Structure 1
Amino acid sequence: MKGKVSVIMPVFNNEKFVAKAIESILNQTHQNFELLIADDGSNDESKKIIDSFNDPRIRTFHNEKNMGALFTWNKLFEICDGEFITFQDADDVSDISRLEKQVSKFYEITDLGICGTYATYVNENDMYLRTKTLPVTHKEIYRSLEKNHQFCGASIMITKKVLQDVGGYPEYFHRIGGEDYYWSAMIAEKYLSCNIPEPLYIVTATDDSISRNIKNVKQLIVFDMVRKLIADVRNGKANWIKEDIKPIINQYENELMKPYLNDKSLVYRKQAFIEAKNKNYFKAIKFAFDAVLKTPLQLLNHKILVYNLITLLKNKYGLK
């Protein structure tokens, strides 16, 4: 079989889902793969569940203490030996044909550096939430990357050559996210990209996966930071995140944080939007209410609260 794939899986406190995630890789139609798993200092039964699997394709590299997903990904990048590299989040599931269809794309398209897929989102009870569709061709993806992330981060597949060229995830993204947006954008600058227009990846939208730490504003501005980087790189400027150029990073962070400093309710409105997007209306209402408490005279906060209340009544109770 051609095209060995290294599947990277950090795990932290995912005892409820990790077995299903592992099985979704072991059952792939493309069987030439290695599954590299690192338990990241879980304090539940995750490590025990991982170690209960007896399959020669599984290689475990557990962390003695919690390092965070970014450092775990980078550790596993250095160990993997597949021609292709992809991910499997410990609370998600891959369609059995995902690896086969993605590997085939690399043999079909010369100079392809990154391949993603559509994704289906479900809640913790496997109830359907939405399907994430994305641009398919490199031209569409490249044009849209300055506006937003154009991949389902966990379903991204790249080549080992691309990893060696672009490098792993910069430490800047540690515990704030956005590393997959950065990565895909930098890869698309040098290589062709595509998305397979099929939902070959199933994302479980748990509280941990869709929430943001409202005390860490960097989580809310990180996509804006990547957008600024993309614009600068395309204008011939340095990759100031990869090179860790602190004056530029600080300048942009200060600029992007100003609205949050001037409007104490903005962080709660943003969080309400994230929760509503994932149809978690009770939490959306909570954050919208917090926004009202922070700045009660701002009409927009009241509108968002009322909107989420009405949406909850329509979706949960069928009211018109």
Structure 2
Amino acid sequence: MPFFTVIIPLYNKEKYISNAIKSILNQTFTDFEVLIVNDCSTDNSIKIATEFESEKIRIIHHEKNKGLAATRNTGIKNAKANYVAFLDADDLWKPHFLEKIFNLIQNFSEARIFGTNYEEIWDETVKMPHNNSDSLPKDFVGYLNFFKINIKQGIYNHGSVCIHKEVFEKAGYYNENIQLSQDLDFNIRANYHFKLAYDASVQMSYFMQTDNQLTRSSIVNKTIPNYDAYEEWAKSNPDLKKYIDFERYVLGKRLKKNNDSRWKDMIAPIEAKNLNWKQNVLLKLPSSALNLVDKIKLLLLKVGVKPSTY
């Protein structure tokens, strides 16, 4: 049995899938299998992926397109290893990612969630440090309170985390009924029940496009997380309450920018003390002003400046 199963959800990524697979095969830690789950790609993605098929690399095909959450769940349920990691087909791992995760597993036995820092690469050229907590040293390795440290941009993302199967058994799988922010919903459940061990070194490259951010499809009518479902947990966990309110702010602002009326219900339970002054001000701006702020941010990104509205 391999030590890790690496799951690649695949849907129409013919331009990137080869490099993603190569970044996995280039790992310094080599006891792993790769499980590519094809969610009915219509381009040449699967043809390219098949060229890598071997005893180490398996491919599973969905009979119909099911979406990202279901694709990840298919991978989890077919994983041979107890430790499951994910890499999207258009992202890359640094060569030492699995080695760093393995070291976390060996040194922090109480944890069941293991993550590293990552970098953002905008338009395939501009590298941006991810907005980690200012209080976290760059050489930090250890346990972290996910909800307390995560009030900003996420300290890990879907491609820089490894999860023990025990987490899925207790916290559940990715919610296939949610069409937006499935990761956030899962992270709440997972980190509520289990400890996180973290390495602050950058071990993953997350590729983003400024043009895509400007023209991203509307979220109107997409199913979103129900953060109210976790309010009972939050009553005895102030850090969780603050984190949920932060995510309500992020999603509420996005809904408002899209003129989606659900933004009012999303932000209604937020306690103002759980947001900073800038966040409280932004929530009061009209959608036109919020969209203008976004456009200015993305123009700055194109010249290598990363502002934050968090």
TM-score (norm 1): 0.69
1:105·1:115 contact (CA, 8 Å) conserved in 2? yes
Q: Which residue of 2 aligns with 1:62?
A: 61
1:301 correspondence with 2:275: no
Deviations 1:105-158 (A, max 9, x none): 011012101111111111343432343435665454232458875431221111
**Alignment partners' CA distance in 2, 1:27 and 1:317:** 29
CA RMSD of aligned residues (A): 3.8
Give the match's secondary structure for 1:61: strand
Structure 1: which amino acid aligns with 2:16? F
Q: Does 1:172 align with 2:170?
A: no
Structure with greater helix percent: 1
Matches of 1:311 and 1:145, distance apart in 2: 23
What is residue 90 of structure 1 aligned with on the other side?
Answer: 89
1:274-295 per-position Cα deviation (integer Å, ceiling 9, x unaligned)? xxxxxxxxxxxxxxxxxxxxxx
1:204 corresponds in structure 2 to 207
Larger radius of gyration: 1
In the alignment, structure 1 segments of 5+ residues that lack a partner are 238-252, 271-297
Check conservation: 1:146, 1:230, Cα contact below 8 A. Answer: no
Decide whether the 8 Å contact of 1:118 with 1:199 is kept in 2: yes
Which amino acid in 1 is paired with 2:234?
Answer: R
Residue 193 of structure 1 aligns to a residue whose secondary structure is strand
SS in 1 for 2:204: strand
Within 2, Cα distance between the matches of 1:71 and 1:45? 21
The equivalent of 1:187 in structure 2 is 190
Instruction: Give the gaps of 5 or more residues in structure 2.
Output: 238-247, 264-284, 306-310
Which digits, 9 at most, give the CA deviation of each residue in 1:214-243, with x for residues without a partner? 242546x64xx33x3443223379xxxxxx
| Residue 46 to residue 107, structure 1, CA distance change in 2 (3 Å) | same
The share of aligned pairs that are identical, in percent, is 25
Aligned residues: 264
- Output the CA distance in 2 between the equivalents of 1:193 and 1:85: 14
TM-score, length-scaled by structure 2: 0.71
Q: What per-residue deviation string (whole Å, max 9, x for no partner) do you get for residues 236-268 of structure 1?
A: 79xxxxxxxxxxxxxxx9xx98996xx78646x
Residues 301 and 9 of structure 1: CA distance in aligned 2, closer, same or farther (over 3 Å): same
Q: Match of 1:250?
A: none
User: In the alignment, what sits opposite 1:294?
Assistant: none
Matched, 1:214 2:213: no
Aligned to 2:30: 31
Name the amino acid aligned to 2:33.
E
Change (3 A) 1:209 1:41: farther
